[in-house]
A and B are shown apart, each in its own frame.
Chain A
Amino acid sequence: MDNLGRIRREIGPVTPELSDALADHMNIRRGEVHEVVSFYSFLEVPADAVRVCIGPVCDCLGAKDLLAREQENANGVPVLGVECLGHCDIAPVLMRGDVVEPDVTRRTNTGSSLGLEQADQTLAEYEARGGLAVLRNLPAKEKIVEELKASGLTGYGGAGFPTGLKWEAVAKEPAPRYVVVNADEGEPGTIKDRYVMELRPHLMLEGTLIAMDFAEATEGFIYLREEYATARARLEQALEELRAAGVLDGRSLELVIGAGAYICGEETAMLESMEGRRGMPRLKPPFPSQVGYLGRPTLINNVETLAHIPAILRDGGEAWPRVRLWSVTGAVTAPGCYEAPLDVTPRQLIDDYAGGATEEIGAVVPGGAASGILPPAALDVPLTRESLREWNAGPGSAALQVFPASYSPLRLLAETMRFFAEESCQKCTPCRIGNRGMHHLVEELANGEAAMTREQAEEWLDAMAATSICGLGQGAPFPMRNAFTHWPELFEPLGEPAIK
């Protein structure tokens, strides 16, 4: 992956000839390199291409017009519509090469756990705020697990697995172990990890180094999505400072840069990608805590999750305020990223943090594409795992996307299913074909046509949820089922629902 990324940046888009040359140079099969190159969205695209985000938030704020305008004025530079670029707070957004347009702004609040209100420009600034104190005076392993469990911290990438349990499980596996940071933030509407990495890179790195010390791992990796050029620069600078200060002595912590594939945020797909293969999820069990990177026990955590750990160990798990970062985007006055309690409601996030809605609200998505689609009636539901379960939804990656009433739920659903279909790795049947089928169904409904009966559609959704290999296919049915429940009139052409 590293070599392919370098070829793209230093020579140009990866052609069959360059792919073969790399394969011959590395003494691997040409076909295997072909498979990898074609899997990722950007390796065959010039580094200066224009990428217009067509994610759902950008779409509802006019991304298609922006894309058409850019394509008209292309001047020979390729212009691509791409999935969520993680800048939904300034939507609609595009990237010209590595440069984001319009100018990046970061709206956030004062937070007691992450402290994003003040950016750390240097390691010295970070240390002046008490940075590295926890790492330099790390408690015993049992104590760390105890505090993590007491804090109730769960994985903030979306799956929500209890962090304390995960750490405990990895520690029980034999060494050598690895630590991997999941910085492949790609869930549409989610911008929180980018905020952390751009504003407080040292904080996340301290969390990572704590994880490495805990797991007695001498090698760690940060898998960063290619589109986050600013975060990459900030992390590189912070790593250099830590290296110069001797903090990294005896350890290796490296950045691995993705190449445009949402599925690589799935932890086993990420491991495959890191090992130089197509990012196709592995069968679980075994889990990465048992068999991970290069077959070794691997502790994989999300950026934000790690960034909370210094505060938890500093103040104690009980005292930790149980917060997370909420990306609030779409039809709100002040889109941004706000630290707020886990049981905050959509209405509080919109009114108290993001300055209120700009239009009448038609629907909200609580936490990324697969978290569900909720009607305005759900605006006062606490966004916890438990209370959202009653709505057949989940908090996912805490990305509240606010869609105006003028944006049809059918359009939102079509864009969501198109996204899943495009990003499916293709390995398993229910995800590869099920998502395309559901996209087709919704597109046809927009024309008043019924591609299949409601009963058949529910059978397809059941098979997708139950038999898909990874969370992509398993989660994709949620928005469809939510829409069946909350906007039944849209699905009348399909006939009666299945009797269960």
Chain B
Amino acid sequence: MSSMVRFTLDGREASAPEGELLVHAAARHGVFIPTLCHDDKLDPYGGCRMCVVGVEGSPRPLPACATRVAEGMVVSTNSNVPAFRKTLTEMLLAEHLDPNPGGRPNELTDLAADLDAEAPFILPDAKRKEYEDRNRLMGYTPDACILCNRCVRYTQEVMQCSALSLEGRGPHARIVPTWERSWLDTECELCGGCLSVCPTGAIFEKFLEGTEQPERELVKTKTTCTFCGVGCQLDLNVDPETNRIVKVTSEPHYVSNEGNLCVKGRFAFNFVHHPDRLTKPMVRREDGELHETSWEDALQVAADGLNRVKAEHGPQAIGFLASARLTMEENFLIQKLARSVVGTNSIHSCEAT
């Protein structure tokens, strides 16, 4: 464990593990420092400057998202820092033409509301070149982007892929899929991680389910992804009016996936509402047709069948086929059932095919 250091935060004595980012140390002491370009998954960037704080001995305020606590540091978040914050917010608003393209939350407009900040004008060159993509899952509106570069850094640092680029310089700078291609023609796997880190919702889920409810109006239900054994934790976002899942999100503090998802976990949820999906246990009766029944009955029928085959042909006549979509624990139970209860070693999984 790293050693603790003492520092001063707005005139109060405080302590933190040596080297902790100032933004975290302050939060633990109840001082919230707003950030836009910072993301705990990414290396410190210090671009948006929203989190600047006064540090004694430094001629200029320093970004709390990139400055680490040191012994004896004297930090101030009041003095002129709030004025800078408001001005920086005004600046960002001066080219924020489309604050809400896809219904995702917008941290910049939240901050503007908190600080009572308004753009004095819209910059004449604020309009950016638009981007249209034929992919059906993700959309991007450059006019909502604040160039915090979180998405690009996410693709480079977390996903290690080449999907998005920070292009150009000065007023012409914008973020765009590599060489403005369709995401389908880049290395992108459409995992949607870029949109999950976007603070303004400039990258968003295209609404497959025909609803345009803002994300904050949706009801979240936490569950485990059913697609593989990793066990990613995710939130099904349900539109309360239609009671249908309209998007899947995940939070950075969720264990095993830390808010990251793959294309299936994030976008392949529409099977849930498919009419062919079996939602009740079914048993094929004497008449050769499937009939709805209870779990007790269905399990009894299956057990009777397995016992009959075992009695007539021995345990080696039975094999078990597990699935990559089960969790590790479920796969363990299947092999336990096969080996200990039925007495066969014939177990297979679709992962091997």
A interface residues with partner B (beta carbon < 8 Å): 16, 19-20, 23, 29-32, 34-35, 38-41, 261, 263, 278, 283, 421-430, 432-434, 436-437, 440, 451-453, 456, 459-460, 462-463, 466-469, 474
The residues in B between 172 and 202 inclusive whose CB is less than 8 angstroms from any CB of A are 173, 178-179, 186-187
A463 touches B87 (CB 8 A): yes
Does B88 contact A436, Cβ atoms closer than 8 Å?
A: no
Q: Which of B41-49, B217-225, B301-309 contacts A (4 or more CB under 8 A)?
A: B41-49
A423 engages B66 (CB within 8 Å):
no
- What residues of A have a CB within 8 angstroms of the CB of B146 in the complex? 429
Q: How far is the CA of A428 from the CA of B161 in the complex (A)?
A: 24
Query: Is the Cβ of B83 less than 8 Å from the Cβ of A459?
Result: yes
Interface CB pairs A-B, < 8 A, 20: A16-B179, A30-B186, A31-B165, A32-B156, A35-B166, A38-B165, A38-B167, A263-B169, A283-B44, A424-B169, A428-B47, A429-B49, A429-B146, A433-B94, A437-B120, A460-B87, A460-B90, A467-B52, A467-B60, A469-B49
How far apart are the CA atoms of A38 and B178 in the complex, in Å? 11
Q: Determine how close the nearest CB of chain A comes to the CB of B130; give it in whole angstroms.
A: 17
B62-94, CB < 8 A from A: 63, 66, 80, 83-84, 87-88, 90-92, 94
Contact stretch, chosen from B121-129, B208-216, B341-349: B121-129
In the complex, are the beta carbons of B47 and A427 less than 8 A apart? yes
CB-CB under 8 A from B178, the residues of chain A are: 30-31, 34
For residue A421, give the distance in angstroms from its CB to the closest CB of chain B. 6
Contacting residue for A429 out of B47, B120, B165, B168, CB 8 A? B47
Contact A452 B120 (CB under 8 A): yes
Residues in chain B near residue A41, CB distance under 8 A: 169
Chain A neighbourhood of B49, CB < 8 A: 428-430, 467-469
Tell me which of B156, B163, B170 contacts A424 (CB under 8 A). Answer: B170
**A263–B168 CA distance with the chains assembled, in angstroms:** 13
Q: Main secondary structure on chain B at its contact with chain A?
A: loop
**Looking at chain A's contact residues, is the secondary structure mostly helix, strand, loop, or mixed?**
helix
- Within the complex, the shortest CB–CB distance from A419 to chain B, in Å, comes to 10
User: Shortest distance in angstroms between B188's beta carbon and chain A's nearest beta carbon?
Assistant: 10
**Would you give the 0/1 interface string for B222-255, flagging 1 where the beta carbon is closer than 8 Å to chain A?**
0000000000000000000000000000000000
Report the bound CA distance from A462 to B82 in whole Å: 13
Expressed in whole angstroms, the Cα–Cα distance for A462 and B61 within the complex equals 12
Q: How far is the CA of A142 from the CA of B49 in the complex (A)?
A: 41
CA distance A430 to B52 in the complex (A): 12
Of the candidates B46, B83, B120, the one having the most CB atoms from chain A within 10 angstroms of its own CB is B120
Question: Residues of B contacting A19 with CB < 8 Å?
Answer: 179
Given A423-B169, A467-B49 in contact, is the A440-B162 Cβ separation under 8 Å?
A: no
Contacting pair B156 A429 (CB below 8 A): no
Residues on A with C-beta less than 8 A from B169 are 38-41, 261, 263, 278, 422-426
Q: CB within 8 A of B46: which of A452, A463, A469? A: A469
Interface readout for B138-179 with A: 1 if CB under 8 Å, 0 if not? 000000001101001001100001111111111101000011
Q: What 5 pairs across the A-B complex have the smallest Cβ distances? A: A31-B162, A29-B162, A426-B173, A452-B120, A433-B91
The CA of A467 and the CA of B37, in the complex, are separated in Å by 15
Q: CB-CB < 8 A to A40: which residues of B?
A: 169
Residue of B nearest to A420 (CB): B170
CB B25 to nearest CB in A, in angstroms, measures 18
Alpha-carbon distance between A440 and B124 when the two chains are bound, in angstroms = 7
> Distance (Å) between the CB of A169 and the closest chain B CB?
17
Inter-chain contact A474/B88, CB cutoff 8 Å: no
In contact, B166 and A278 (Cβ under 8 angstroms): yes
B95 in contact (CB, < 8 A): yes
Contacts of B66 in A (CB 8 A): 283
Q: Tell which of A16, A23, A30, A436 touches B123, judged by Cβ atoms closer than 8 Å.
A: A436
Enumerate chain B residues within 8 angstroms of A16, measured Cβ to Cβ.
179
Question: Do A452 and B60 form a contact, CB below 8 Å, given A426-B170, A463-B84?
Answer: no
Residues of B within 8 A of A425 (CB): 169-170
Are B84 and A467 in contact (CB-based, < 8 A)? Answer: yes
Residue of A nearest to B58 (CB): A285
A432 touching B147, Cβ below 8 Å: yes
Q: Are A452 and B165 in contact, with the CB atoms below 8 A?
A: no
Q: Of B48, B152, B171, B179, which is within 8 A of A422 by CB?
A: B171
Given contacts A429-B47, A429-B50, A451-B120, 6 further A-B pairs with CB under 8 A are A32-B162, A278-B166, A436-B123, A460-B87, A460-B90, A463-B84
Complex-state Cα separation, A20 to B185, whole angstroms = 13
Are B91 and A429 within 8 A (Cβ)?
A: yes
Q: How far is the CB of B97 from chain A (nearest CB, A)?
A: 13
Q: How far is the CA of A462 from the CA of B161 in the complex (A)?
A: 39
Name the distance in Å between A369's Cβ and chain B's nearest Cβ: 14
- The answer to whether B171 and A421 touch across the interface, beta carbons within 8 angstroms, is yes
Q: For residue A330, give the distance in angstroms from its CB to the closest CB of chain B.
A: 25
Which residues does chain B contribute within 8 Å of A421, judged by CB atoms? 170-171
Q: Which residues of A contact B63 (CB under 8 A)?
A: 283
- B46 touching A466, Cβ below 8 Å: no
Closest B residue to A469 using CB positions: B46
A441: shortest Cβ distance to chain B, in Å?
8
Q: Which residues of B lie under 8 Å from residue A469 when comparing CB positions?
A: 46-47, 49
